[in-house]
């Protein structure tokens, strides 16, 4: 009769160890899940803030004025078309030299605009630029 008691005690001890191991595994799993959820929430908040900042940047009220100022830096002889309607701009420049073209494109590239079309054709140091952009 002594042997069944020892087996019973060993069985209880093994069952308790297995239960403790299972509880530890469950606790670790839940902690990892909580950490992932927290990291995901922080990432989502970061993306929302970035989106809001970009939205404010792209919908800047002064952008139309900056594009008009860009037009004023060009010689009037090269401007064929330069129209600004709502949030779109159509630009056609003809017989523009390389230096002026580079300066114009650098300044236009610094503005937060999206180019729909950009075509540059050259002929012996003179260029034609067609550009449609929006913001």
Q: Which residue has the tokens 């403790």?
A: 20
Is 70 found in the same domain as 19?
Answer: no
Rg over alpha carbons for the chain, rounded to the nearest Å, is: 34
The count of structural domains within the chain is 2
Tell me the pLDDT band of 5, cut-offs 50, 70 and 90.
low
Span 88-128, pLDDT tens digits? 999 999 999 999 999 999 999 998 888 999 999 988 889 99
How much is the pTM? 0.58
CA torsion angle 65 68 73 78 (round to 10)? 170
Give pLDDT, residue 129: 94
**End-of-domain residue from the set 25, 58, 91:** 58
Is 92 found in the same domain as 29?
Answer: no
Is 69 found in the same domain as 13?
Answer: no
Q: What is the mean pLDDT of residues 23-28?
A: 96
Total residue count of the chain as it appears in this document: 135
Is 126 found in the same domain as 69?
Answer: yes
> For residue 35, what are its two tokens?
């950490």
Q: How far apart are CA 83 and CA 69, in angstroms?
A: 13
Is 85 found in the same domain as 40?
Answer: no
Range of the domain at 81: 63-134
Q: How far apart are CA 91 and CA 107, in angstroms?
A: 14
Mean pLDDT of the chain: 90
Q: Domain of 109: which CATH number? A: 3.30.1360
CA torsion angle 8 13 16 18 (round to 10)? -100
């Amino acid at each position: 009769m002594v042997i069944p008691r020892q087996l019973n005690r060993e069985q209880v001890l093994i069952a308790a160890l297995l239960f403790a191991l299972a509880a530890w595994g469950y606790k670790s799993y839940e902690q990892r899940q909580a950490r992932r959820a927290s990291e995901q929430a922080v990432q989502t908040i970061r993306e929302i803030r970035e989106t809001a900042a970009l939205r404010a940047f792209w919908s800047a009220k002064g952008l139309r004025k900056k594009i008009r100022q860009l037009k004023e830096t060009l010689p009037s002889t090269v401007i064929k078309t330069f129209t600004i309607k709502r949030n779109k701009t159509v630009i056609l420049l003809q017989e523009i030299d390389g230096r002026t073209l580079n300066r114009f494109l650098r300044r236009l590239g610094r503005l937060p605009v999206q180019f729909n079309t950009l075509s540059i054709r050259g002929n012996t140091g003179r260029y034609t630029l067609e550009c449609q952009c929006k913001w």
